[in-house]
Structure 1
C-alpha cells in the first residue's frame, strides 16, 4: 500500500512537472514567435526607411549637381555679358533752372544770372545688371525688358546697356530683403534639422 501511495505521489509529481515544463515551453515558443514577428516588422520598417532615405539622398544629389551645372553655365554667360556691357550707366540729370525774371511780388535780387543746378544723377543699373541679378536669384537666364537671354539677337547688347530705371539704392534694398529671407530660411531649417536629429 505504501508502495502504491509512493508511486501515485511520484506519478502526480511527474504529471505536474511535465505540465509545467510543457506550459513553460509553449509559453517560450509563443514569446519567441511573437518576438520574431516583432523583429521582422522592425526589419521591414527599417528597410523601408533606409530605402526612403537613400532615395531622398539620391534626389538631393541629383538636384544639387543640376543646380551647380546651371549656375556654372549662368556664370559663364554673365561673365561674357559683363565684358561687353556695363552694369551701371549715368542716371538722368534733371536740370532745375531759375526763372528768367522775378515776379513783381518776389523779393530779392534778380536771379536771371543764376546757374542751373543738377539734381539726382545717381548711377542707374543697366538691363544687363538686372538680368544677371534676377538670374542669380532664380537660377535661370531670362529676358529683362529688351535685354534678351543668351543666344538672343545680335542687337541685344545695345538693349542690355540701357538703363533700367533702378538705382543702386534699389539693388541694396532688394539685397537686404533677400538676405533677411535667407536668414529666416536658415533658422527654420536648422530647427527642423535639430528636431529630426532628436536634439
Structure 2
C-alpha cells in the first residue's frame, strides 16, 4: 500500500514537473519571441533615426554652403558695382521736349485747339542709366548680367559710355518695381514663418 502511494505520489510529481516545465518553456519561448520582435522594431527605429539625422545633416551642410556661396557672390558684386558707380552715373537728366512756339498755322478743321501751350515742355525728370539697371538687377538676383550694352561680353574693358546711357526708366518705375519686390518678400517671409511654426508644432 505504501509502495502504491509512493508510486502515485511520484507520478503526480512527475506530471506536475512536466506541466511546470511546459509552462516555463512556453513562457520563455514567448518572451524570446517578443524580445526578438522588439529588437527588430528597435533596430528599424534606430535606422530611421539615423537616416533622418543624415538627411538633416546633409540639408544643413548644403544650406550653409549655399549661404556662403551667396555671401561671396554678393561681396564680389559689391566690389564690382562700387567701381562701376565711380565710373558711371546712376541717373541722367531726362529728354526735354519743347513744343513748337508761336508761328504754327491754325488748323483748318473746327473744334478745340489741340496744340500744346507755347513753351510747354515734356517731362525732363531724371532717368535711370543702364548702369543703375544692371546694378539693380544684380542686387535682386545675385548674378551680374548686362543691361543693354552695359556689361556685355563684347564691351571693351573700361568702356563706360554705354553704362552712362539712359535706360528710359524713371524713378517712378524704380519705385514701382521696389514696391512689387518688397510685397513679394513680405509674402515669402509670411509663408516661411508659417512653415517654421508648423514644423515646431510637429515636434
**Which of the five TM-score ranges fits, normalised by the shorter chain?**
0.7 to 0.9
Measured after TM superposition, the shift of residue 119 of structure 1 is 2.6
After TM superposition, which residue ranges in structure 1, 4 or more long, deviate above 4 angstroms?
149-152
Q: Which runs of 5+ in 1 are unaligned?
A: 107-113
Measured after TM superposition, the shift of residue 151 of structure 1 is 9.7
Q: Aligned partners of 2:75, 2:154: CA distance in 1, in Å?
A: 17
Q: Aligned partners of 2:188, 2:104: CA distance in 1, in Å?
A: 61
Whether the 8 Å CA contact 2:99–2:118 is kept in 1: the answer is no
Whether the 8 Å CA contact 1:141–1:149 is kept in 2: the answer is no
Task: Please give the root-mean-square deviation of Cα atoms over the aligned residues, in Å.
Answer: 2.5
Asked if residue 153 in structure 1 is aligned to residue 141 in structure 2, the reply is no
Aligned to 2:43: 40
Aligned pair partner of 2:29 in 26, 29, 41 = 26
Aligned to 1:192: 195
Matched positions, count: 194
Whether the 8 Å CA contact 1:77–1:150 is kept in 2: the answer is no
Asked if residue 63 in structure 1 is aligned to residue 79 in structure 2, the reply is no
Distance verdict in 2 for CA 1:101–1:139, change over 3 Å: closer
After TM superposition, the score normalised by the length of structure 2 is: 0.85
> What is the correspondence of 1:46-195 to structure 2 with a 5 Å cutoff?
46-100=49-103, 103=106, 115-148=118-151, 152-154=155-157, 156-195=159-198
Whether the 8 Å CA contact 2:102–2:118 is kept in 1: the answer is no
Q: Secondary structure of 1:124's partner?
A: strand
After TM superposition, the score normalised by the length of structure 1 is: 0.87
Distance verdict in 2 for CA 1:151–1:162, change over 3 Å: same
Q: Which runs of 5+ in 2 are unaligned?
A: 111-116
